[in-house]
């Protein structure tokens, strides 16, 4: 299971990087959001499953970095990089773009490993659920902001998204929808999976661990 998750996670990350390389100069928020969601909502949880409990698991080396703190860190990283000034910087400078994507991946892996960490106490497992729900909420808020904003937040003029020319307002709205459909749903699904684990009978969890 872990090896399969590792292969799938690496594949998703390579797919995101390939898409980033082909769309970076287009200035499209929608293309950026597809790359972003592929990184944090697909590649990151798969890689978190792959390293869970192993030597490379951040949760093993950073036991104080719990789900709630990881969720706040994810919020800061995501919202800061979607501020207009930093978004323009990432659109025009290669080093800024690479730093942006690296911070997305790191924040995503830290969050998912912290939330998926196995705890003895039920309160700690619930913290993982709350962390993912909080992340789903702030992803939803940002997606709604981008979709319903009365004007483009990232400049004027047309952009190129996957070979299609779009107006900035349309592109921004589509980007917000991508964040709503993929980002919010992925974290909500993760929270539901953790909740289902919490609700299992104690004997069932114990037999699985053995």
**Length in residues, the chain:** 210
- Residues 40 and 9 sit within 8 Å (Cβ to Cβ): no
- Cα–Cα distance list, 25 to 14, 29, 105 (Å): 18, 11, 21
CB within 8 Å of 34: residues ≥ 6 apart: 19, 178
**Consecutive H or E run containing 160:** strand 158-161
Distance CA 16, CA 100 (A): 13
Question: Partners of 166 in the beta sheet?
Answer: 159
Structure tokens given for 9:
């996670």
pLDDT in tens, the chain (210 residues): 788 988 999 999 999 999 998 888 788 999 999 999 999 999 999 998 888 777 777 777 777 788 899 999 999 999 999 999 999 899 889 899 999 999 999 999 999 998 887 654 556 678 889 999 999 999 999 999 999 998 989 888 888 888 888 899 999 999 999 998 898 889 988 888 888 877 776 654 544 443
C-alpha 91/C-alpha 146 separation (Å) is 17
Region label for 27, one of left (φ > 0), alpha (ψ between -120 and 50) or beta (otherwise): left
How many angstroms separate the CA atoms of 121 and 205, rounded? 13
Calpha distance 149→10 (Å, rounded): 35
Q: What is the pTM of this model?
A: 0.86
Ordered by start, the domain boundaries in the chain are: 2-209
Beta-strand ranges (E) seen in the chain are: 158-161, 164-167
Closest CA to 115 of 127, 99, 105, 98: 127
Q: Given this model, what pLDDT does residue 200 score?
A: 73
Q: What is the pLDDT of residue 59?
A: 73
Torsion-angle region of 161 (φ positive above 0: left; ψ -120 to 50: alpha; else: beta): beta
């Amino acid at each position: 299971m872990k090896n399969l998750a590792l292969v799938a996670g690496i594949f998703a990350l390579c797919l995101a990087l390939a898409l980033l390389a082909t769309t970076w100069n287009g200035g499209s928020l929608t293309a950026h959001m597809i790359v972003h969601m592929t990184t944090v909502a697909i590649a990151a949880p798969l890689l978190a499953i792959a390293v869970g409990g192993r030597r490379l698991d951040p949760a093993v080396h950073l036991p104080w970095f719990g789900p709630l703190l990881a969720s706040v860190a994810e919020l800061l990283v995501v919202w800061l990089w979607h501020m207009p000034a930093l978004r323009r910087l990432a659109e025009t400078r290669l080093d800024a773009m690479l730093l942006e994507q690296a911070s997305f991946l790191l924040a995503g892996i830290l969050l998912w490993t912290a939330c998926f960490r196995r705890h003895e106490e039920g309160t700690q497992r619930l913290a993982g659920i709350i962390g993912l729900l909080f992340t789903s909420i702030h992803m939803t808020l940002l997606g709604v902001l981008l979709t319903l904003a009365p004007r483009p937040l990232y400049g004027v003029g047309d952009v190129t998204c996957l070979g299609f020319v779009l107006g900035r307002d349309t592109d921004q709205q589509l980007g917000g929808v991508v964040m709503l459909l993929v980002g919010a749903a992925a974290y909500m699904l993760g929270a539901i999976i953790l909740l289902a684990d919490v609700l299992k009978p104690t004997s069932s969890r114990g037999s699985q661990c053995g």
